[in-house]
Structure formats: C-alpha cells, structure tokens
Amino acid sequence: MAEPVLEVEGLVKHYPLTRGVLFRRQIGSVKAVDGVDFTLGRGETLGIVGESGCGKSTVAKLLCHLERPTAGAIRYRGEDITKLSGKALKAVRRNIQMVFQDPYTSLNPRMTVGDIVGEPYEIHPEAAPKGDRRRRVQELLDVVGLDPEYVNRYPHQFSGGQRQRIGIARGLALHPEIIVADEPVSALDVSVQAQVINLMDRLQAEFELSYVFIAHDLSIVRHISDRVAVMYLGRIVETGTDTEIYDHPTHPYTQALLSAVPVPDPDARDRRERIILSGDVPSPADIPSGCRFRTRCFKARERCALEVPALAVPAEFRYATGPAVHDSACHFAEELRVVPAEEHGNGPG
Amino acid sequence: MLLEVRDLRVEFRARDGVAHAVNGVTCQVDAGETLAVLGESGSGKSVTAQTVMGILDTPPGRITGGEILFRGQDLLKLKEDERRRIRGAEMAMIFQDALSALNPVLTVGDQLGEMFVVHLGTSRKDARARAVELMDRVRIPAAAQRVRDYPHQFSGGMRQRIMIAMALALEPALVIADEPTTALDVTVQAQVMDLLAELQREYRMGLVLITHDLGVVADVADRIAVMYAGRIVESAPVHDLYKAPAHPYTRGLLDSIPRLDLKGRELYAIKGLPPSLTRIPPGCAFHPRCPMARDVCRTDPPPLYEVDEQRGSACHFWRECLDG
C-alpha cells in the first residue's frame, strides 16, 4: 500500500443517554462508533459502506474533528490529532476537509458562492494573500466545472449537482491532502450523480487527494474505491480491496448486503439468490453480546453470542491464498459469491 | 384493461409562469401486471400518480386535458363522493415516507381499522381484529400487541409494512406505489419489495411502481414507462428496454449507472441538467442534452413512435438508438 496519511486505531464514540432535568444521570450510552481501525494511503480511496445507524457518518465527523472521540487515536502523518488543540489543530485541519451530503443545507443561503468558496481563506489567511483570493476562488470554480463568472450568485440559483460542485470547490480551497466525503451524491439525480463522481475521480488524480468516501450505494462505492470497509453497528465487519469485498465476501453481513442490492439487469432476476435478513438493526444503545450481527445472521450459533469475533484474516483461511483471504470479523467465515457472474456484451452502450 | 391513461395534461401556476408538469401522458396497466414509471425528480411521475389517485391539490394544480379510464370509466368525469368510494377500496396508494403519511396521534390499529369502518361499516371491535390480521399478513411480529402502538414506535421498514397493509386492506384492483422503498436501507428494501411482489401475485393486483431506481425496476417490473419533462419518452417490456433502449435518454441513464459487476472506467454522464418545467425546450425536450440531436429535434416535438407492438419511443431517431 502507498505511504499512509491517516491511521485510525480503536476509534470509539459513545453518546451518553441521560434522564432527569435537575438531577441528570446517565442511564446508558449510544455506541455510535465502537472500535474502528483503518489506514488510508496517499492518493487512495477508502470506501465505507453500511446501512443507516451503522456509525459511518460519525466516523466522518471524528476524522474532521467535528466531534471528539471517546477513545482511540487518529494519526495524521504519525501525529495523533485527537490530542491536539489550538494552533496545532488548526494547522492539521487545513489538510483534512469535508464534503457534505446535502448540498441544500450545507451552503449558507445568505452568502454568495464566492464568499462560500473563499471562506476557508478567512480562517487560514496564510493559504492565500488577500488580494489574490478572488482569482483563486474563480480558479476553483473553473476546476469543478462551474462558470467562474458565477462568484456573485447565491446557492438557490443553482441545481443540486451544481451546489455539490460548490461544496467540493470549498473543500479544495486549502489544498487538503484528505477529503472526507459523506454521501456526496446520494441527494442527486442519477444522471447528475455520474457527473459528480467523474469530477471527484479527476480531482483525485490532479491533486493527489486521498478520499474517505462514505455511502450506502454499494455500486458507486465500488466504482470509486480502492479499498472498502463494511460497517455494522459501529464496527467494521469486513475490509479488503474492492474485488475481495465484492467478488469474494466472507462475512455473512456483507454477503446479505450485496445480495440485496437490486442489479440493473432484468435477466439477473432468476440467476441470483437473495439472502433476505430477518428483522431490523438493533439499537446502538443495546448492542447484542458476542458478535453484534448474530441477531440477524443466518449462520449464528452458540459461540457467536459468547465471543466477539476479531477483525482479522479468519482462522479457516490461515494457510490459504487468493482474494478470499482478507480481514473478516466472523467465527464462521466462508466465501460465498453473491453477485452473479455476468455475461457482458449484451448490455447497453 | 384495468387502467388506461390517455393524453393526460396537468399544469401548476408557479411564481415564474406556468409549470407544465404532465404533458400528454398515455399508459395502461392490466390486472396482475407491474408497470414501473421511471423518472428523475421533476419528471412528472408523482404528479401523474396523484392525478390518477385523485389526490392532486387543485389549485395550484390544474388538469387541462386527457382521460383516466379505470375499468372503462373516466374518473375525471366522476363527482368527488363517487371518486372517494373508489379510492381506498378499488385503488390505493403507498407513499414514500410512511412517517408523514401515517397519522402520528392515532394507533396503527385505529388507522388500519378505519378502512373497514369507513368503507364497509364494520364495527370498531371487528375492525380491530381485521387490523391484527392485516399486520400478521405483512409479517409484523407480535401483531396482537403492536396494534396499540403509534407509528413512531415502529422502525422504518415496519412502518412501510403498515402502509402496505393499509393499501391492501380492501384488496384493491390497482395499487400505486410512489418510491415505496427509497427511504429504506437495502436489506430492508429487499424485505419490503419481496412482500409487495408476493401480495401482488396473491391478489392479482395491477401495480404501478414509481421509482428512480433502475435496479428496483429490473427486479420487479413487467413493463417500464420512462418519463422526462412530463412526457413518457419510452415504454417497453422490461427485458427489451434493458437489452436495447430505443430512446437516448434511457440509454444515457442505463450507461451512467456504475454496475456492481463491472468496475468502470470513467462513468458515462448525460451532460447538462433536466429542464425547468416552466421553460421546457421547444421540439424534443431532451434535445439540449442529447448526443444524437439534429435540427429537426429543435423544432418538431416527436410523437410516441411505435417501435413494435409493445414498444414506443418519443425519439425521431429511435431506429438509430436501437441499433446502438
């Protein structure tokens, strides 16, 4: 792997649940993120997938230091940013920027596009001298495919896709190394999603960016990611390269997730077998003992309630080689192909 | 034919002019058939559904033309109380957002039971029993206890099941589902779509599934109608459409999906943006974004050409498109 720019170790974020107004006491905690480890290489894209409530957005907030973790470390170039404050923190933050999901609420409606994209320079004046800022902002708009003449317009004058470009331009203003994108295209129409994904791909090559790309749409994550981490109830349950995860999943949750994704090919209807999970995701305030997926798992046995499976290459695969050998937090991991092999060539295009 | 919509037109008065939301939609659904209406936001798919159901707000909406034939009877000619008898009993709707479609201050049992009380004159007690039965039907665990719960006490997937139960309560002949699983996670979406398909088979309902998700469509639809700027631009049996689209917009949509099973290079992207409904381009509404556009497309709106007995395409050059 490329030289790591971000190393996350044992990341935990618990939100306290309290009762009482005058005498507040803690009655439990919501374990939004409950022990997450990963490494992000330079110029690499790590995709994080999972269903709502799995903690993926909380991870994004922790990475950008919008929330302080309960425990764990986030090392940027070897330095733990969770311990930083003041000037040192400000300096690090320049290099880790965020692109938000909702291009409607993440742009201030009373600011012009020029002010929005140029605002990072107010906070980090050393990044661009005052007289030069307008030109820089116009350059940024050009880079993301917007007309530089738009600097004086307001967000409501733009479509969703254009607004997301504005959000990306703001994220790029300080020449960060890492961009954390939390569901950057899920609010957009299908025909516009492709435009924004292509833009992000192009910018990554141009500026050597590393992406943490968070989404629930598995096909988009596969398209853009080098490596993928699958989250469930605050933990990563399986991680590997895109081929390892999508074509050779060994964790039952990943298998169920992949099998549930509707494939845009009516001929696949009869060829594939769906794993339909029973029930709903348990509350993150009341996480099952042992393996947290066991209450919905089609493979669960006694051992799963007693022992927490570690995220590592499963024992069964210790002497094996090939793409099925990757980290998977399951006691009974085994390979199962769930996305049917395609005979291509008859598709459109 | 169960439902036949002919040349339906709906407009809205907006601040900056008249928004032409539906501009001559023609489509039909048979009993036991699933028609998917595919379109992006602003394509007019939800307005069409609301007009068929008779729940369009007028004003600001205005139906300016067309017919909606339900079992041969034009719904637009009926009086409101006659329509109300059909709505719920013979045709029902499933909404995207169950939390805002259900009444938050009534228990789900009361809301389900109300269907029987209002339409069939069932007693409150019997209605409660029917409600429990329905909840069992859509596989809500411990239905007998949960019938007294309020909508907010259910998860998103369970709430959507209650919506389905409510729509199917009186065994309607036609169900219109407007993005029924868009708000749900994929594993829950699979559960709900499975349930819907199973109940449809059982009751032989006609199902109109409104969605923007090409994956869901491929999974469940028999036929597809693709909408763009208030018109149906292509209609075809599902296998034909995915194999060879006959309209450049459909082709663009299919090409722009990253496929799980095909790690891509640069994605194909349709250039530009969908038009504003107050300023629909003249000629073919898709021409400013179309890679195949020629002079005639800028001036002459294409009719829905017959591609074969079962297919139609509103493109002057559908033959070229079909050949790829």
Instruction: Report yes or no on A45 lying in a domain.
Output: no
**DSSP code for A312:** B
In chain B, what residues touch A263 (CB-CB under 8 Å)? 215, 218-219, 259-261
Using DSSP's 3-state secondary structure scheme, residue A58 falls into helix
Q: Considering its fold, how many domains does chain A have in total? A: 1
Size of interface A-B (CB pairs under 8 A): 145
Decide if pLDDT at A349 tops 60: no
Interface probe for A, chosen from B38, B140, B187 (most Cβ of A below 10 Å), is B187
Its domain, for residue A287, covers 249-328
Neighbours of B300 (CB within 10 A): 12
Which of A230-234, B123-127, B192-196 is the least confident region? Answer: B192-196
In chain B, what residues touch A272 (CB-CB under 8 Å)? none
Q: Distance between CA atoms of A97 and A108, rounded to whole angstroms?
A: 17
Q: Distance between CA atoms of A44 and B160, rounded to whole angstroms?
A: 39
Instruction: Report yes or no on A273 lying in a domain.
Output: yes
Which of A265-274, B41-50, B219-228 is the least confident region? Answer: A265-274
The conformational region for residue B66 under phi > 0 = left, psi -120 to 50 = alpha, else beta, is: left
Q: Distance between CA atoms of A257 and A49, rounded to whole angstroms?
A: 10
The verdict on whether omega for the bond into residue B59 sits within 30 degrees of 0, i.e. cis, is yes
Instruction: Report yes or no on A306 lying in a domain.
Output: yes
Q: Distance between CA atoms of A166 and A228, rounded to whole angstroms?
A: 27
Q: What is the mean pLDDT of residues A74-82?
A: 91
Q: What is the mean pLDDT of residues B155-161?
A: 83
Q: How far is B15 from chain A (nearest CA, A)?
A: 15
- Sequence letter at residue B214: L
Instruction: Report yes or no on A305 lying in a domain.
Output: yes
Which residues, in sequence order, are bridge partners of residue B207? B34, B175
The pLDDT value recorded for residue B69 is 94
Instruction: Report yes or no on A137 lying in a domain.
Output: no
Instruction: Report yes or no on A317 lying in a domain.
Output: yes
Q: Tell me: the pLDDT tens digits for A303-333?
A: 999 999 999 998 888 788 888 889 999 999 9
Which residues, in sequence order, are bridge partners of residue B51? none
Q: Model confidence at B231, in pLDDT bands (50, 70, 90)? A: very high
Give backbone dihedrals phi and psi of B54, rounded to 5 degrees, phi first.
80, 30
In chain B, what residues touch A190 (CB-CB under 8 Å)? 40, 212, 214, 253, 256-257
Find the CB nearest B267 among A198, A262, A276. Answer: A198
Decide if pLDDT at A344 tops 70: no
CB B206 within 8 A of CB B29: yes
Instruction: Report yes or no on A296 lying in a domain.
Output: yes
Chain A's closest residue to B289, CA to CA, is A191
CB B53 within 8 A of CB B176: yes
Q: Model confidence at B262, in pLDDT bands (50, 70, 90)? A: low
CB B233 within 8 A of CB B225: no
The pLDDT value recorded for residue B303 is 92
Q: How far is A121 from chain B (nearest CA, A)?
A: 31
Q: How far is CA B224 from CA A136, A191, B130, in A?
A: 47, 18, 35
Q: Tell me: the pLDDT tens digits for B312-324?
A: 999 999 999 988 7
**DSSP code for B288:** G
Q: Please name which of B63, B297, B50, B96 lies closest in space to residue B212, comparing C-alpha atoms.
A: B96
Structure tokens given for A320: 């094996």
Cβ <8 Å between A346 and B264:
no
A100: exposed, middle or buried (Cβ count in 10 Å: 0-12, 13-18, 19+):
buried
The C-alpha torsion from A224 through A230 and A236 to A237, rounded to 10°, is -140
Surface of A (11-30) touching B: CB under 8 A: none
Q: Which residue has the tokens 């048979």?
A: B30
CB A166 within 8 A of CB A199: no
Q: Please name which of B285, B286, B308, B283 lies closest in space to residue B296, comparing C-alpha atoms.
A: B283
Cβ <8 Å between A191 and B158:
no
Instruction: Report yes or no on A20 lying in a domain.
Output: no
Structure tokens given for B97: 């957002």
Find the CB nearest B269 among A198, A218, A269. Answer: A198
Mean of the per-residue pLDDT values of chain B: 88
**DSSP code for B28:** E
In order of start, what are the domains of chain B with their CATH numbers? 3-100+174-323 (3.40.50.300)
pTM equals 0.84
Structure tokens given for A98: 């965020």
Which residues, in sequence order, are bridge partners of residue B307? none
Q: Tell me: the pLDDT tens digits for A94-136?
A: 999 999 888 788 899 999 999 999 999 988 988 888 888 889 9
Which residues, in sequence order, are bridge partners of residue B225? B37, B235
Q: Please name which of B207, B223, B203, B201 lies closest in space to residue B175, comparing C-alpha atoms.
A: B207
Cβ <8 Å between A349 and B239:
no
Q: Distance between CA atoms of A88 and A79, rounded to whole angstroms?
A: 10
Q: How far is CA B68 from CA A288, B29, B61, in A?
A: 53, 12, 16
Cβ <8 Å between A264 and B215:
yes
Q: What is the mean pLDDT of residues B139-159?
A: 86
Whole-number percent of chain A with pLDDT over 90: 45
Decide if pLDDT at A181 tops 90: yes
Using DSSP's 3-state secondary structure scheme, residue B263 falls into coil
CA angle A141, A144, A147 (to 5 degrees): 45
Which of A57-66, A179-188, A295-304, B179-188 is the least confident region? Answer: B179-188
Cβ <8 Å between A261 and B243:
no
In chain A, what residues touch B218 (CB-CB under 8 Å)? 262-266, 268-269
